[in-house]
Amino acid sequence: MQDLVYIDEFGLLGSNFYWHKYEAHGLTKEDITNAGLTSDRVQVSRVLIDPLCAVNEQLAEKNWCLYVKEGYRSPALYEIIYKRRVEKYGEEKTKALFNMKDMPHAKCDAVDVALWDKTTDKEIYMRYWEDSNPALYIGFYKDRTDPEGKHYQELQDYLIGLMLAQGFRIGSKKEYFHFDYRPDTPPNYEPNK
């Protein structure tokens, strides 16, 4: 396992998604603590810190920052989350979101991120809540003509562009918020195209 560090020790904002949302996805507190999740603090490999901080510096120009919703996830946590989500949502919906083959978060080089507005101290939403899971994937808003849909696409492309420039790549599920750190591979998405 790579050297894990807490992002907050480097001035990065975030909290662990499943620490706060476990009940909503059919998990118990015992499930997550037995799998090693013991607080809402986000851990990542030390090699991710500089690229994440570089993205944060660019966002500061807009008085925004990066909000890391998830970093390292243990294999045990993957297993229990997958099991409970299958029980609650069914296997097809769970497989659409979870990469159990590669378990990218367990490799310590994957992050799920959002944009945070420091003025309002709130997340900047990059999708309509009503659009549900399909809106989690890149390109959902590309052909939208309504102003909000266009705005969501612009925000997603902006974030993706910043992350790609720092060596992150879009994950295999093609979610707009999930990135794997692979600086030695070519970018796998072209924002604004």
Q: Is residue 92 part of a domain?
A: yes
CA distances from 90 to 82, 83, 85, 161, 177 (A): 10, 10, 7, 34, 23
- Residues 100-118 have a mean pLDDT of 94
CATH code: domain of residue 120? 3.30.1380.10
> CB pairs under 8 A, 24+ apart, for 136-144?
136/97, 136/175, 136/176, 136/177, 137/173, 137/174, 137/175, 137/176, 138/170, 138/174, 138/175, 138/176, 138/189, 139/174
pLDDT digits (tens, 9 = 90+) for 141-158: 999 999 999 999 999 999
Q: Is residue 192 part of a domain?
A: no
pLDDT digits (tens, 9 = 90+) for 33-57: 999 999 999 999 999 999 999 999 9
Q: Is residue 141 part of a domain?
A: yes
Task: Extract the runs of DSSP E, i.e. beta strands, from the chain.
Answer: 4-6, 13-14, 43-45, 64-70, 110-117, 122-124, 168-170, 178-181
Q: Is residue 166 part of a domain?
A: yes
Place of tokens 């309504």: 146
Q: Is residue 191 part of a domain?
A: no
Q: What is d(CA 15, CA 41) in angstroms, rounded to the nearest whole number?
A: 5
How far from chain centre, in Å, is Cα 14?
10
Q: Is residue 189 part of a domain?
A: no
Residue span of the structural domain in which 12 resides: 4-181
Please tell me whether the overall predicted TM-score, pTM, comes out greater than 0.75 for this model.
Answer: yes
